[in-house]
Amino acid sequence: MKYKIGLIGCGTVGQGFLDILDKKAETLKKNLGFEAKVVAISDKLKGSLLAPRGLEIKKVLGLLSQGKTLADYAPGKGQKDSALGPIEMIERCDADIIAELTYTDIKTGEPATSYIKKALQTGKHVVTSNKGPAALHYPELRDLAKKKKVYFRIEGTVMSGTPVFTLTENGFAGNTVKEIKGILNGTTNFILSKMELDNMDYREALALAQKLGYAEADPTADVEGFDALAKIVILSNVILGGNIRPSDATREGITGISRDMVLAAKQEGFRYKLIAQTIREGTKITAGVSPQKLSLSDPLAGVMGAQNALTFDLDLLGKVTIQGPGAGKTETGHAILQDILAIHRDLR
Amino acid sequence: MKYKIGLIGCGTVGQGFLDILDKKAETLKKNLGFEAKVVAISDKLKGSLLAPRGLEIKKVLGLLSQGKTLADYAPGKGQKDSALGPIEMIERCDADIIAELTYTDIKTGEPATSYIKKALQTGKHVVTSNKGPAALHYPELRDLAKKKKVYFRIEGTVMSGTPVFTLTENGFAGNTVKEIKGILNGTTNFILSKMELDNMDYREALALAQKLGYAEADPTADVEGFDALAKIVILSNVILGGNIRPSDATREGITGISRDMVLAAKQEGFRYKLIAQTIREGTKITAGVSPQKLSLSDPLAGVMGAQNALTFDLDLLGKVTIQGPGAGKTETGHAILQDILAIHRDLR
């Protein structure tokens, strides 16, 4: 099948996805019978373009890598499209699938949630790596998608392209998931690893994380646990079938963890990790984020640096842990592709 | 959809599968629209039964748990079916899916391979946890299944019910898998763990593994690496697209690893593991099993006891590791269910 894809947001993840789509076009066609063209892009900084016949991906990526905008794609033509905002683009383009890849606002989920709603309402599948809408409005968006008979998929919101939702749907079908526990924030895991392995204090480790691009200038979302909290709320609602909001979960970051505490734990054979955890008992969901001292025999204890990992506790299979990248341009672009391929597997 | 399933072999795995099928019937119907009945069972020790209308699973499991045979299921009726061998059962039953669950012969793959061929030739899907046919004849059986337009699935052959093939197909689609490396034999991993953590020598650790039922009276298949070898050959052929035989791979077990070597490695910050590894370079596959000293930062180093784990090296996603159970009645029964549900997802 040949899909028509529209991108709302064309920053790092969008360009990572386009690059994969271009490089893997032949493989995907040959192995999976999957073909796609990009019929619309709308980006606040890089301009907008409607192209019902499909864009030349290489040309788009070339322009953006040179700091140019989509207005330079076909000068003279399509200029009027550059004035279209995301909502108008979603309405006017004839995409089957909208990839919502704008910036994350964990507090409001906007404007991404409005874009997603518009896309679902106009009968388009939506795939996104944006944690805001997924953490704040998943049950509502899922129900809207169901009503409109389209897909709403969010693989990239947790552990970037490392399969989490795809794994659960396909590999754990029929299981009751009792508990999900993991390391969902690479920045804090990197900081804790550096404190233990390289004897740094918190400030030094944070400064290094900032220098390497793992932490933002304002590291609050990571170090105070907001990022991991959003992800564990998503897992609670998507996999455990809950309907909780971030304010229903407890949250404690790593700013209270000193080098002395890390080294004392090490002496006792333990290791500090920022653990996100959600437990289902009957219909009750208990979710939270907090620093925990793990025994070194815990599969999560060995997860060092910026890696992420999740342990699922399943009624039939017991404990299964998946470890992989938690961020990155290609990794999150991979998540977008996987969501689209999941739709393809169901529709083909 | 409602599937008709035939079981060839009804030992531990078969009974584990039947138990799951019975307990999860309602969940599977409600969540996935999946229904199944068991229309045939053939077992060398427990007898045979054809039941086009479907067997009462609870009754079958009750009889077998009391040491009775299928001849006691409906005395007087169906007695003549008890004389049917597996091949005749496969021919005569009207199953959509044959679950091949007889004993593993890694050297010949028989009689399981003949059963699988017969099932595929008569247009039935086949799911199996039997390593023999998968390690020795996968390319041929896959091609036969393709020709007959049916499925041949083998999730339970590697890491029991921990998703390996399902994960790769669904979560890594579009990736080139460059290397697969892992701990695929729980017995040897248990022995090495005991040698390091509890200071046992090899003989003591092996005796404990035998006492706990992890190792057979003749432990050769595990400790000399034959079991792990069969599994890495399967991964080479199924996931890396190879066409190798066990004799094409190198093999070294753990019998040459002494407690002194294990403890010396520990002093240096390393840990011995029996590692199965397969690497693809172009069309060339290099596969083997050998004890390796892993750095403690390797995700496989933290896998202790009877657990299994695999690290996939992917061109788009980098390294992803999955860790979970590698054996067990319910765990392998889970694999059989997952293979059947994978068929259901494609056909529904």
Task: Quote ipTM for the complex.
Answer: 0.96
| Closest to A96 measured CA to CA, from A148, A173, A160 | A148
In terms of CA atoms, which chain A residue is nearest residue B348? A346
Of B303, B320, B337, the CB nearest to A162: B320
Chain A residues touching residue B301 (CB < 8 angstroms):
302
For B28, list phi and psi in degrees, rounded to 5: -70, -35
Predicted local confidence at residue A348, as pLDDT: 84
Pick the CATH number of B173-324 from 3.30.360.10, 1.10.357.140, 3.30.70.270, 3.30.465.10: 3.30.360.10
The DSSP code for A175 is P
Please indicate if any CB of chain B lies within 8 Å of the CB of A172. Answer: yes
Domain regions of chain B by residue span: 2-162+329-347, 173-324
Please indicate if any CB of chain A lies within 8 Å of the CB of B45. Answer: no
Distances (CA, A) of A118 to A41, A42, A148, A156, A340: 15, 14, 11, 20, 19
Pick the CATH number of B2-162+329-347 from 3.90.1150.150, 3.30.2270.10, 3.40.50.720, 3.30.70.330: 3.40.50.720
Give me chain B's average pLDDT, please.
Answer: 95
pLDDT-derived band at B80 (thresholds 50, 70, 90) equals low
**Contact assignment for A162 to B296 by CB distance below 8 Å:** no
The interface residues of chain A toward chain B in range 287-316, judged by CB-CB distance below 8 A, are 296-297, 299, 301-304, 316
Question: Residue B83 pLDDT more than 80?
Answer: no
**Contact assignment for A301 to B297 by CB distance below 8 Å:** no
The interface residues of chain B toward chain A in range 319-348, judged by CB-CB distance below 8 A, are 319-325, 330-331, 333-334, 337-338, 341-342, 345-346
Predicted local confidence at residue A115, as pLDDT: 98
Question: Residue B271 pLDDT more than 90?
Answer: yes
Predicted local confidence at residue A79, as pLDDT: 52
In terms of CA atoms, which chain B residue is nearest residue A160? B317
Of A173, A304, A323, the CB nearest to B321: A323
**Contact assignment for A317 to B325 by CB distance below 8 Å:** yes
Predicted local confidence at residue A76, as pLDDT: 66
Predicted local confidence at residue B35, as pLDDT: 97
Question: Residue B245 pLDDT more than 60?
Answer: yes
Q: How far apart are CA A302 and CA A249, in angstroms?
A: 26
Structure token pair of residue B107: 């050297």
Chain A residues touching residue B173 (CB < 8 angstroms):
28, 31-32, 337-338, 341
Give residue-wise pLDDT tens across range B3-25. 999 999 999 999 999 999 999 99
- The lowest-confidence range among A174-178, A291-295, B81-85, B215-219 is B81-85
pLDDT-derived band at B75 (thresholds 50, 70, 90) equals confident
pLDDT in tens, chain A (348 residues): 899 999 999 999 999 999 999 999 999 999 999 999 999 999 999 999 999 999 999 999 999 999 999 999 987 665 556 678 999 999 999 999 999 999 999 999 999 999 999 999 999 999 999 999 999 999 999 999 999 999 999 999 999 999 999 999 999 999 999 999 999 999 999 999 999 999 999 999 999 999 999 999 999 999 999 999 999 999 999 999 999 999 999 999 999 999 999 999 999 999 999 999 999 999 999 999 999 999 988 999 999 998 999 999 999 999 999 999 999 999 999 999 999 999 999 998
**Contact assignment for A297 to B302 by CB distance below 8 Å:** yes
B133 cis-preceded (ω within 30 degrees of 0): no
In this structure, the dihedral spanned by the alpha carbons of residues A304, B184, A311 and A234, taken in order and rounded to 10 degrees, is 100
To 5 degrees, how large is the angle CA B327–CA A180–CA A264?
Answer: 95
Which helix H or strand E contains B3, and what residues bound it?
A: strand B2-8
Which helix H or strand E contains B79, and what residues bound it?
A: none
Beta carbons within 10 angstroms of residue B262's beta carbon: 26
How much of chain B, in percent, has pLDDT values that exceed 90? 94
Please indicate if any CB of chain B lies within 8 Å of the CB of A267. Answer: no
Per CATH, the number for A169-324 is 3.30.360.10
Question: Residue B79 pLDDT more than 90?
Answer: no
